[in-house]
Amino acid sequence: MNNKAAWWQRFFLSLGLLTASAAALAGGEASAPVHFDTAMVELLGELHDYAHKHKSHFQLLTDGGSALYLPINGNTAENAEKMRQSVDGQLADLANSPQSPPSVNDDDIENLADVRNYLLLLDPGQYASSTEYLASLQGTPYDLLIIDLYIEDRLLTPQEVESLKHKPQGGRRLVFAYMNIGEAETWRQYWQTDWSKKNPRWMDESNEEFSHNHRVKYWRPEWKHILYGSPTAYLDEIMTAGYDGALLADVNAYQYFQAASAPAGPSAANSR
């Protein structure tokens, strides 16, 4: 996975991570953008730049956004290049996920390119206590753990995060925190009770499949301030807690706004 020149050859692997590299972007208008895909790429670039300014080895992994890596279906070559510069990898689904992780090893894992297996666990509430939760994670052999930033309505401490970075069979691993950039979640610390009565201007309708998730106008500064730029912003809390990186979820949110703004008729299918 270290051959960046051949990234497209690995793009559709069902197991593993697509690797890109490093660099930057900025922007984000308050009004609706001309191109929603470009606005998402710009947000990813801003998150990359901000993270690397404060923690140079911090890595970003996306869940979704596959189409943004390629200049197809209206996505520009500039967007595709910025995407590869701003994101370190894309999470691939584990089809027919095995009971035991594949390719267990005792290597030191420093970069996403070295990851051979991962565990995604976002519901610590299934454990009786934070002690049981942490012990369970510590006992797993995975190269990458992706977990929620919170446990029992509190942040994991830097010491707790550090305790997860060592595989029981030997070797260091990566620990990432989950961060939704395309939807606001009603159970998060940032959620304000009056938003349940009336959506703020930067928030759209709730997700039909997940009623506690509300789509957001991710290009607006109000949402970006929740994501990064202050000690209590989500990305800042992730970095302060000592995580190696973040899984950025709902990158495909731009497709919802594309569809909603597309003109009616058969010719709209391939429009931007």
pLDDT, tens digit, for every residue of 52-110? Answer: 999 999 999 999 999 999 998 889 999 999 999 999 999 976 555 667 788 999 999 99
Note every long-range contact of 120-126, with CB atoms under 8 Å and residues 24 or more positions apart, other chains counting: 120/91, 120/146, 120/247, 121/145, 121/146, 121/147, 121/148, 122/146, 122/147, 122/148, 122/178, 123/148, 124/148, 124/150, 124/151, 124/152
Cα 245 from Cα 177, distance rounded (Å): 7
Strands 59-62 and 245-249: what pairing?
parallel
32 touches 38 (CB < 8 A):
no
pLDDT confidence of residue 262 = 83
Instruction: Tell me: pLDDT of 16 over 90.
Output: no
Classify residue 267 by burial, with Cβ atoms within 10 Å: 0-12, 13-18, 19+: exposed
What is the DSSP secondary structure assignment for residue 92, as one 8-state letter?
P
The predicted pLDDT at position 30 comes to 59
DSSP one-letter code for 4? G
For 212-268, what is each residue's pLDDT tens digit?
A: 999 999 999 999 999 999 999 999 999 999 999 999 999 999 999 999 988 865 544
CA atoms within 13 A on the CB side of 232: 5
**Per-residue model confidence as pLDDT tens digits over 124-133:** 989 999 999 9
Contact between residue 95 and residue 125 where contact means Cβ atoms under 8 Å apart? no
CB 119, CB 82: distance < 8 Å: no
pTM listed for this prediction: 0.84
- Return the CATH architecture of domain 26-90+106-262: Alpha-Beta Barrel (3.20)
Q: Is 5 left (phi over 0), alpha (psi -120 to 50) or beta?
A: alpha
